[in-house]
Chain A
């Protein structure tokens, strides 16, 4: 079965991203396909490569990046939500005249249409938020 995942909250403050990660991992272990993980609202903050959590804590962003690499996951950060919150890839940084980008490996920035497409193409959509 094909799953779409929506993550509405950023890392650490809420458990949403952790729950979404555990669910995604379990679905992959069961042989399901993850059509896309879409990050919206503060969820876009899961995609920053600048976070430096303490050594003894989980690294939420790196964990997503590693899972994406291992399973060719499509991790999509909403462009409108990302721009509001200061998450940029190289293209967006250039287009908006910013001097840096901060998107992590395995994440890409795209439009809200990608969320609707996930709703259409996936057999099930699961929402994690606050």
Chain B
């Protein structure tokens, strides 16, 4: 174990790590998007350096106009707009995933930063913990 690791152990709650939540699944068809968001909300209390990445069908989590009454499920898309209040402000969306789906940033319910493949890859490489659900 390195000295840095030892210091992390001693620091305990004072450690700040880079956490990336990778969202690659569409909402409602499976529960992953909703339960991922639940981790983000709880995790916000831990004062870590949090980023959210939306790639592949994960971009569908952020689309405007979701109406879930007909399927009897809760529309959780407004929660993405509330993330700012939890100091979760780094939302990154993959440009190619948007383009492949005929979407652009204006179709999304929350302001995001759109990244190209190289930028997203560099973001991933800097992370300490990568959560995929």
Q: Which residues of A contact B (CB under 8 A)?
A: 1, 6, 8, 40-41, 80-81, 111-113, 115-117, 119-121, 123, 125, 127, 129
Contacts and interface: CB of A to CB of B under 8 A. Distances in A.
Given A116-B43, A116-B48, A120-B17, A8 B133 contact: yes
Contact of B132 (A115, A123, A127): A127
B19 A119 contact: yes
A82 to B, nearest CB: 12
A18 to B, nearest CB: 18
B1 interface: yes
Nearest to A118: B129
A31 to B, nearest CB: 12
Contacts of A41: 31-32, 35, 133
Contact of B133 (A40, A111, A116, A120): A40
B42 interface: yes
B35 A120 contact: no
B48 A120 contact: yes
Q: Per DSSP, are chain B's interface residues mostly helix, strand or loop, or mixed? A: mixed
Nearest to A4: B129
Interface in B60-107: none
B5 interface: yes
Given A6-B131, A120-B17, A120-B48, A115 B5 contact: no
B5 A81 contact: no
Please provide the 10 A-B residue pairs with the shortest distance between their CB atoms, ordered closest to farther: A112-B42, A119-B129, A116-B43, A116-B46, A125-B129, A127-B132, A120-B15, A112-B39, A41-B35, A113-B42
A41 B30 CA distance: 10
B64 to A, nearest CB: 27
Nearest to A40: B35
18 contacts: A80-B35, A111-B42, A112-B39, A112-B43, A113-B45, A116-B19, A116-B42, A116-B48, A117-B46, A119-B17, A119-B48, A119-B129, A120-B17, A120-B48, A120-B129, A121-B9, A123-B1, A123-B5
